[in-house]
Structure 1
Amino acid sequence: MKTLFAGSLAIVAALACAPASAEVFDGPYLGGQVGWNHDKIGRANTDIGTVEIRDSRDSFVGGVFAGYNHKVAPKVVLGVEGGFAIGADDAVRRGPSSIDPSYTFDVSARAGYLVTDQTLLYVRGGYENSRAKIRTSGIDGTIRDRDNFDGWSVGGGVERSLTDKVSARLEYRYADLGGSGETFDRHKVLVGVAYNF
């Protein structure tokens, strides 16, 4: 995973040197992203009871996103974005119990500052929901079900326009998907490319 992160930084550094013909941070966009995901789960209250995991898992994640940017001032961009992602080999296990995320969707607001006409530094905050398969053991043997984990997320990153239609980004996100007395923390480092309409 360290190699993926280092590679992501190298890609974005190289893209930052590429010329761009016009700004793209105003209007609708659609894109895809890949990266590293780290889930840390302690105690989780589910539809089949309390599941004790107390472990973490690193995995690969990929997905798509769509949003809308609006330039409200010469250097300020505000927007909204929604995304959908799927992880690979991302089940967090401890003994007979496991939580295996199937997919995740999120909705967030973004606020950015144009440090140049082609480079946007931004922060985000919003809602994230992860659908997961649950497995645990009880007096009747192994119990399986599905449940939703949701909560708030925050993050930030840098996005660079490469052409008048295409931009690339590097981003970090944190999400808290645990409720009261629960622990389900998620960290992501993502590299994405967007087409701006």
Structure 2
Amino acid sequence: MRTLILGLAAAGTALSAAPAMAQDVNPAFTGFRVGALAGYDGIRPGSTQDTDLDGDDQTVNGLLYGVDAGYDFALSNFLIGVEGEYTGSTGKVETARTDPNFFGFGSVSTGRDLYVGARAGLLVAPTTLAYVKGGYTNARLNVLASDGTVDSRENFELNGYRLGAGIEQAIGTRAYAKLEYRYSNYNNADFQRIDGSTTSQFDIDTDRHQVVAGVGIRF
């Protein structure tokens, strides 16, 4: 009987401590957040594509910039959350529109990129969160095309997935800074013409690598 009473008392102590552990999580890691992003952006044909049009493999490099928002929940020292991003990039490649290898495309630039997904993290220190993330991404490539006489601006819409990992550091009780690496693969796309019509979707293989820094605040 004494053993049973001691066991119940220990269980009660553990249960009462669990909410306290969740409450001890720095509020900079929980709740609704908004932030700004900037970093490196590189997009290129994937490993299944022949990219040797000019004799070497081509990566379009640029500066990524944008905003993100999310909501995170604390489960003791483990956090889960949902998030979304709207970003752009300065990446651009220009070619001679008369070169048949480029199908009349005079320039291709990386346009807006939309992302929605989830993340999960672990507090490795009271003010430091390590996390992984993954979700859906929809990107746009803006194209300046020519039929030999008339130039037109059109775009490709790319669909795929994104995986990433990062470190987030609390700054006080509401602000934070983070650094993360993300890999995206786009596996299908459609082409949107200047007249508003859209082709059917077709298979592609396009890779994207990004190293991004961010700062934000919780509400």
Same fold (TM over 0.5): yes
Q: Which residue of 2 aligns with 1:8?
A: none
Match 2:187 to one of 172, 178, 197: 178
**Consecutive unaligned residues in structure 2, runs of 5 or more:** 1-24, 189-201
Q: Which protein is richer in helix relative to its size?
A: 2
Structure 1 unaligned spans of 5+: 1-20, 44-51
C-alpha distance in structure 2 between counterparts of 1:114 and 1:22, whole Å: 10
User: Residue 43 of structure 2: which of 18, 39, 45 is its match?
Assistant: 39
Paired AA for residue 206 in structure 2: F
Q: Identify, as 1 or 2, the structure richer in strand.
A: 1
8 A contact 1:40–1:183 mirrored in 2: no
Q: Which amino acid in structure 2 is aligned with residue 182 of structure 1?
A: I
Q: How far 1:176 sits from its partner (Å)?
A: 0.6
Deviation at 1:139, TM superposition (A): 7.6
* Partner of residue 93, structure 2: 92
**TM-score, length-scaled by structure 2:** 0.68
1:168–1:192 CA contact under 8 A, matched in 2: yes
Whether the aligned pair in 1 keeps the contact of 2:28 and 2:217 (CA below 8 Å) is: no
CA RMSD of aligned residues (A): 2.6
Counterpart of 2:29 in 1: which secondary structure?
Answer: coil
User: Any idea what SS the aligned residue of 1:178 has?
Assistant: strand
In structure 2, what is the Cα distance between the partners aligned to 1:94 and 1:112? Answer: 43
Out of 74, 77, 86, the residue aligned to residue 75 of structure 1 is: 77
1:105 corresponds to which of 111, 114, 120: 114
What is the Cα deviation at residue 144 of structure 1? 4.2
1:55 aligns to what SS in structure 2? coil
**TM score, norm. by length of structure 1:** 0.75
Aligned pair partner of 1:117 in 113, 116, 126: 126
1:15 match:
none
Q: How does 1:46-57 map to 2 (within 5 A)?
A: 55-57=58-60
Whole-angstrom CA distance in 2 between matches of 1:140 and 1:40: 29
Pair 1:25-2:29 in alignment: yes
| Corresponding residue of 1:5 | none
CA shift at 1:141, angstroms? 6.9
Q: Secondary structure at the match of 1:24?
A: helix
Q: Choose 144-153 or 26-35, whichever is displaced more.
A: 144-153
CA distance in 2 between counterparts of 1:122 and 1:183 reads 27
Identity of aligned residues (%): 31
Instruction: Tell me the matched-pair count.
Output: 167
Q: Give the letter aligned to residue 146 of structure 1.
A: N
Q: State the secondary structure of the residue aligned to 2:187.
A: coil
Moved over 6 A (4+): none
Amino acid at match of 1:66: A
Secondary structure, in 3 states, of the residue corresponding to 1:177? strand
The residue type paired with residue 27 of structure 1 is G
Change (3 A) 1:178 1:100: farther
